[in-house]
Each structure stands twice: as C-alpha cells, then as structure tokens.
Amino acid sequence: MITCDSHPLVLLTGATGYIGGRLLSKLEQRNSRIRCIVRQPKRLAGQVAQETEIIAGDVMDFNLLHSAMQGVDTAFYLIHSMGSSERFEDADREAAKTFAHAATRAGVRRIIYLGGLGDDEHSLSPHLRSRHEVGDLLRESSCQVIELRASIVIGSGSLSFELVRSLVERLPVMICPKWVSTLAQPIAVEDVLEYLLAALDWNKGGNLTFEVGGPDRVTYGEIMREYARQRGLRRLLISVPVLTPWLSSIWLALVTPIYARIGRKLVESMRNPTVVNKPAALGAFPLRPRGLVEAIERAVINEDREIAETRWSDACSSTPSSDSSDRVQFGRRLVDVRTIDVSVSPSCAFQPIQQIGGRRGWYHANGLWQLRAWIDVLAGGIGSRRGRRDSFELRVGDTLDWWRVEAYEPGRLLRLKAEMKLPGRAWLEFEVARNGTGSTIRQTASFDPCGLFGILYWYVLVPLHSPIFRGMLQQIARLAEERNGELGNTAQHQTVGHEMRSRSGKQGTQVKI
C-alpha cells in the first residue's frame, strides 16, 4: 500500500484563485502531499484536507519562498497580478524572478506554469506579453519548466464565462467592438486541470511549452451565440469599429461582473488571436479536450447550481487595489456604531445578515447603493456586478458585491472589507449576541481615512450614511422577527395537525373495536 509520505511533495501557489482552488481539490483526491503558499490562510480554513500544509506568505518574499520550497519536488506557478496594480507587468516580473531564484536555491526539480496563448511574432497586448515573459523568467531557473499556454477558459465562475454569460443574459442587442470577431480556441476548465495533472506526471526532461485548447477555433461572437442557443435566447450582435479599449472597459463594467481596470486589460488582450499553432500537447498527453458545445453545457449546468466551486473574483489578484497600509499613512479610524434589540434567537437574528447583498440587495436605499456602485465603475472600480457566490452560504474570502468577507462566524459575526475605490479603507461589520430571551444586533461601519481628502469624504457622506445604516439595521431586525414568526406559525400548524391526527387515530380505533 502506498502512503501519502511516498508521494513527492508538491508546492501550490494561487490556491485561493480560480484554477488553483480547483487544482488543490484534484491534488487532494490523488493523495498528493501538498504545501500551499497563500497570503490569507484563513480563506482556506475548513476547505482543505487535514494533511494539506498551509503557509502564510507572499511570492515576493525570497526567504519565505526558499524555506517553503525545502523538500519540494514540483511547484505549480498559478499567479498573476492583472487586477492588483496598474503596473501589473512589474509585479509579475518581480514575482517570477523571485520564485525562480528561490526554486533554484531550494533544489526544486520542476515548475509547472499556466500561461496564455498568443503569437510572439505579433504585437501582443501587455497582459499576454507579461504572461510569456513570466515563462521566460521561470526558465532562467535550474528547474525543468513545463509551460501550458491556454486560450479563454470555459467553466462556471471563470472570468471568461462570467463575461459571456452576463453579456448574453442582459443584452438582447449587443453593440460589439472589433474584438468580438477575434479568433480563440476555448478550453473547458476540466481539461485545463487534466493537463496540469498530466504535466505533474510527465517523466521526460527538458523545458517544454505546450499550447492547449479545445478542438474548436471560434470567435468571441460565436461563443456568445452558442451560449445564447443553449439558453434559448435570441440575441443580435452588431459590430462597430469605434469602441476604444477604454470605452469597451466601461461598457463591460456596467453590464458584467468585470470592473473597468480588468476590463480594459481584457479588451487589449482580445485583439490578439489565441489559437493553438503547435498541437504537440495532443501527442504528448493522452487527453482529448472537449469541444465548445460540451464545455458550455457543463458550465451552464454548474452555474445553474448557483455555487461555483471557485470564482475568478475570489482570487486576491481580482481585488482592484491592494492593501496599501504599508505605503500610505492612514488617519484615526472613524466609526459609526448602531445596535438594535430583537426578540429572536441569535441564529434567527443572523439569518438576514448572512443573506445580505447579491440579488437580495442591502435591505434599504438600494437605489443609493447602486448609484455608489455606478460611480465606482466610472472611477475604474468593481461596482456591484460580482454578486455572491451563493445565495445562502458564506465563507471567508468570498466576494459580496464590492465587499470581501474578511471574517465570518455563522450565527454570530460577519465582517466585510470594501474593495471599491475609496480614499481610505472601509469595513462593515455585523455582530449578534444573546440578550436575555432575545438578541442584540450590533452594526459597525468603520473607515480609515487616507489624508485630509479621506476625512472630508467621510463627513460629507455622513448625512447619507446615517439614514442608510439606520434603515438597513431596522430592516434586518424586521426580517428576523418576521422569519421567526413564520417559523412559529409553521411549528404551531404542525403541532395542531399532529394532535388532530392523533385524535383521529384514537377515534378510529374506538369505532373499529
């Protein structure tokens, strides 16, 4: 019998991202020995096997990487910085150099890297050019490097699929820029994962670059039409040449979950065809990727379940601005605290809190919340299009409209950190505690202003914040009371029904005798 200790140690980066999170699950199913490096370990709490080792750290930290790579046979490099900074190329370059150096020093045998398709002979977008540069920098290490280059990934929760789904679902008529006619070779997320696992089992030496994709070469417009066909929707696509990348990014941000900064970089990349020119992967690996029709079918089925296993927006790199606490001097924290008592249990009082956001909205002044989201979109932020991963359940690291779940204790605590464009840092926290026979709900909005402008921002909005936060708390209390009443009525009806059935049973027995 083979034990886990007999398996080579695998280092996984990007475990909180879309591909990395799913690959982690696959590796655990194979009983691989896994070590993950993540910036926020609490985001994996309760979601990984007990044997999986989690190390808190950043790939920019050479000393931490060198220590984490001790004893590692293969390292997966699933990192990019497209959403975290306007200078994402510099961040990607520094991270790749640090990773390659640490891997060489630690004696790592192999690095597996997932990059992007695109012909180097053409003028590549900054995003695709950076993806290729990362592969080159990793190859400067002494490790064997297997680079897989993929086109758009089709799967529930993926950036590409969310983009297509949102456009088709929301727009009966689409005014489309030139990139809609660009050729791509989409690949199902399941096939990407199989290629990554096959690279792990590769038994030949030398650096290799494999171009991977499904069997279909299609335009982005054809992908949207196929999705519409499977959904039973009639959609008209009208192509125009006048939409610049900036205008396209704003347009995407208004109607999809993509915020403007990532949207602009996506549009710039979509001008480049991403097709397989060297199909060596088909000969090297015993895999035959599924076609576009089946890939979308599977994505639609999983999306209909509402819970995507992982989503692109869950990745730290999808955050529009990094935590700048190390670079910016924040002022004294400004706080708005409100409490309300309800005559229900803490678990019942917490239920509306647990279900806040997404399709349910924010319970009060939703028009003002949406106005703020539109302002954020125009400023290059995320707006509110990300929604929720699930309508009922939450976990640390989930995105919730323009917030991210920073802390979550079912029935007691929910703390959200804002990821919208702000002159500072903001949190919204709900805490429920027992109070005699009922509960107290405490709602805290806090803000760390950045300079004078941050302070002015807070106080200018106080006249709006006061009624919004007060109304939201009152609505949460009302919903909790109503829910408790509904449960009480249901229980009462069940009790009465049970008594009537009992009496009926006794009377029936007496008549029969």
Q: What is the count of structural domains for the chain?
A: 2
- Under a CB-based contact definition with an 8 Å cutoff, are residues 349 and 441 in contact? yes
What is the distance between the alpha carbons of residues 319 and 313, in angstroms, rounded to a whole number? 8
Task: Of 164, 307, 288, give the one whose Cα is nearest residue 231.
Answer: 164
One domain, residues 260 and 339: no
One domain, residues 215 and 325: no
Q: How many CA atoms lie within 13 A of 367 on its CB side?
A: 0
In a domain, 47, yes or no: yes
What is the distance between the alpha carbons of residues 275 and 122, in angstroms, rounded to a whole number? 13
Which of 65-89 are b and which e, b meaning 16 or more Cβ less than 10 Å from the residue's Cβ?
bbebbeebebbbbbbbbbbbbeebb
In a domain, 488, yes or no: no
Among all chains, which residue has been given the structure tokens 């993806």?
131
pLDDT of residue 293: 96
**Residue 455 burial by Cβ neighbours in a 10 Å radius (0-12, 13-18, 19+):** middle
The model's pTM is 0.67
Q: Walk along the chain (513 residues) in steps of 10 and give the mean pLDDT of each run.
A: 63 91 93 91 81 91 94 94 67 94 96 92 82 95 96 85 80 81 93 96 93 95 92 86 64 60 66 91 94 93 60 50 38 80 93 91 87 78 75 86 88 90 89 90 88 83 88 94 68 44 38 24
- Under a CB-based contact definition with an 8 Å cutoff, are residues 201 and 277 in contact? no
- CATH number for position 403: 3.30.530.20
State which residues form the domain around 176.
4-317
- Under a CB-based contact definition with an 8 Å cutoff, are residues 370 and 240 in contact? no
* Most distant pair of Cα atoms in the chain: their distance: 95
Q: Which residues lie closer than 8 Å to 260 by C-beta, 6 or more apart?
A: 249, 250, 252, 253, 377, 378, 379, 380, 381
* H or E, element range at 244: none
One domain, residues 407 and 301: no
Query: 397 pairs with which residues across the strands?
Result: none
- The residue count for the chain: 513
In a domain, 434, yes or no: yes
Residue-wise pLDDT for 42-70, tens only, equals 778 778 888 999 999 888 999 999 999 99
pLDDT of residue 331: 45
Q: Tell how strand 72-77 and strand 110-116 pair up.
A: parallel
One domain, residues 310 and 365: no
One domain, residues 297 and 357: no
pLDDT of residue 398: 86
